[in-house]
Homo-oligomer: A and B are copies of this chain.
Amino acid sequence: MEPFKLTQETLDEIRSLIGAQNTAALQEFFNDFHYADIAEIANELQLEEALFLIRTLDSERTGDVLTELDEDLREEILSELSPVEIASELAELDTDDAADIITELPSELAQEVISEIEDREHAAEIIELLRYDENSAGGLMAKELIKVNENWTVTTCVREMRAQAEYVTRVHSIYVVDNENILKGRLSLKDLLISPNNAHIKDVYIPKVDYVSVNEDPEEVAKIMAKYDLEAIPVVDEMKRLVGRITIDDIVDVIKEEADKDYQQMAGITQDVYADDSILDLTRARLPWLIVGLIGGLGAAFIMGTFESIISEHAILFFFTPLIAAMAGNVGVQSSAIIVQGIANDDIKGSIGARLSKELFLSLLNGLILAVLLFLSTWLWKGELLTASAVSLSLIAVIIIAGLIGTFIPLFLNKRGIDPAVATGPFITTSNDIFGILIYFWIAKLILGL
């Protein structure tokens, strides 16, 4: 079928069914719906309506719906549900999704919910996952996977796999462990099928298997899975014991969130916000860099203030300060963006010195072209050869310095183990504004002999 598109008519129809509390018709209507589509609809409803819908549909599907809801709505709905109701939703979820929802609950409620989960093994696995840092492979993995012991025979293995497969939506790989649960390798279904029933797994498994540690950074896991085109990767603890599995759908989310974060950082937004967030949340995300920008602007104003004595004779120098600041900012952002992206893709090889000298030539080339344009415009406008030269030569210097700063800072931060993306956008723009204007006046004064 074609992908679902939510129309106003559909939404109105659902609302009137909810308004009429027509449980049977709602269940009938949503019978064939994917949970992601139900979540999309619920996100458009009022809290009361969404709550009625969640309670009407069976928890086999609403558990998944919960994981796909907007965070705010999910929080509100969870606060209206009883611990028993939440527990019955979680019972239907994979351990990683259940753990993510529990993390969002107030700690007392979380305890209650966990104690209400009927399947105690499922509960124990969720509790184990809660131990791991959200921002690690452990925080990303699920306990659901298929594993077999190297000492089993093929017959035992097939029987055990059948039992395990009931709880695992997508098999992907069969992992092989020893008696201590240490990851030894993987098993090909084909090899399993052509082996005699009494053969031991240790004689047929493939010892070559990629894995990551529970403490690995999610971004690193994403890189590894993308590089090797993996759809699932086993996760091991410090003793190399198999503790979980990460699947590609979670990695797709990691890649998107990471990209969103870098994009927002570049735009000077300091925390994860969405267009639909409250004005207060949006202000909290936007104001910090604006204040930094304001301080930068004040700095630029003070610098210009120190050159006030030349303003009546060389007013034109002051007219070009927004241009100089803008060029310094743009060049800095371009250089830093290319370096940040190169670092993210592991493309940056060679020394910092080599990078800087490349950027030097690059900025010199760009600066020369732009300086010629600026020279001609200024000359045509004011007819003063010396001023036009001063302004354009300063522009070259500013562009070179801005390019070098934009290149150096992310490289430096990365060497220090700090995410270089923090140094893009307004950070580079603001620092380059100040440096740019300082250099500009200094060189212009020199040339004009002031």
> Which residues of chain A from 341 to 373 have any CB-CB distance to chain B below 8 Å in the complex?
341-342, 345, 347-349, 355, 358, 361-362, 365-366, 369-370, 373
Q: How far is the CA of A319 from the CA of B437 in the complex (A)?
A: 11
Residue-wise interface mask of A (226-259) relative to B, using a CB-CB cutoff of 8 A (1 in contact, 0 not): 1111010000000000000000110111011001
Task: Tell me whether A322 and B227 are in contact (CB under 8 A).
Answer: no
Task: Tell me whether A366 and B283 are in contact (CB under 8 A).
Answer: yes
Residues of the B chain whose Cβ atoms lie less than 8 Å from the Cβ of A3: 210, 212, 224
Residues of the B chain whose Cβ atoms lie less than 8 Å from the Cβ of A448: none
Shortest CB-to-CB span from A349 to chain B, Å, is: 8
Residues of the B chain whose Cβ atoms lie less than 8 Å from the Cβ of A253: 226
Task: Tell me whether A433 and B322 are in contact (CB under 8 A).
Answer: yes
Known: A226-B256, A263-B266, A318-B304. A293 touches B430 (CB 8 A): no
Task: Tell me whether B337 and A267 are in contact (CB under 8 A).
Answer: yes
Q: How far is the CA of A226 from the CA of B267 in the complex (A)?
A: 25
Known: A255-B256, A274-B342, A329-B329. A283 touches B228 (CB 8 A): no
Residue-wise interface mask of A (311-334) relative to B, using a CB-CB cutoff of 8 A (1 in contact, 0 not): 110011011111111110111011
Task: Tell me whether A275 and B210 are in contact (CB under 8 A).
Answer: no
Binds B, one of A142-150, A152-160, A196-204, A421-429: A421-429
Residues of the B chain whose Cβ atoms lie less than 8 Å from the Cβ of A264: 337, 341
Task: Tell me whether B259 and A263 are in contact (CB under 8 A).
Answer: yes
Shortest CB-to-CB span from A217 to chain B, Å, is: 12
Residue from A36, A253, A273, A286 whose CB has the most chain B CB atoms within 10 Å: A286
Q: How far is the CA of A433 from the CA of B323 in the complex (A)?
A: 9
Task: Tell me whether B290 and A330 are in contact (CB under 8 A).
Answer: yes
Residues of the B chain whose Cβ atoms lie less than 8 Å from the Cβ of A225: 252
Residues of the B chain whose Cβ atoms lie less than 8 Å from the Cβ of A255: 252, 255-256, 259
Residues of the B chain whose Cβ atoms lie less than 8 Å from the Cβ of A170: 231
Task: Tell me whether A331 and B290 are in contact (CB under 8 A).
Answer: yes
Task: Tell me whether B362 and A279 are in contact (CB under 8 A).
Answer: yes
Task: Tell me whether B32 and A437 are in contact (CB under 8 A).
Answer: no
Q: Give chain A's interface residues, CB within 8 Å of chain B.
A: 1-3, 32, 34, 36, 44, 170, 208-212, 224-229, 231, 248-249, 251-253, 255-256, 259-260, 262-264, 266-269, 273-276, 279, 282-283, 286-287, 289-291, 293-294, 296-298, 300-302, 304-305, 308, 311-312, 315-316, 318-327, 329-331, 333-334, 336-339, 341-342, 345, 347-349, 355, 358, 361-362, 365-366, 369-370, 373-374, 377, 381, 424-426, 429-430, 433, 437
A-B contact pairs, 30 of them (CB 8 A): A1-B211, A170-B231, A225-B252, A226-B249, A248-B252, A255-B255, A260-B341, A262-B263, A266-B266, A267-B333, A268-B333, A274-B345, A275-B339, A276-B347, A279-B361, A282-B362, A290-B334, A293-B326, A300-B322, A304-B322, A305-B381, A311-B312, A312-B312, A315-B318, A318-B318, A321-B322, A322-B322, A322-B325, A326-B429, A330-B426
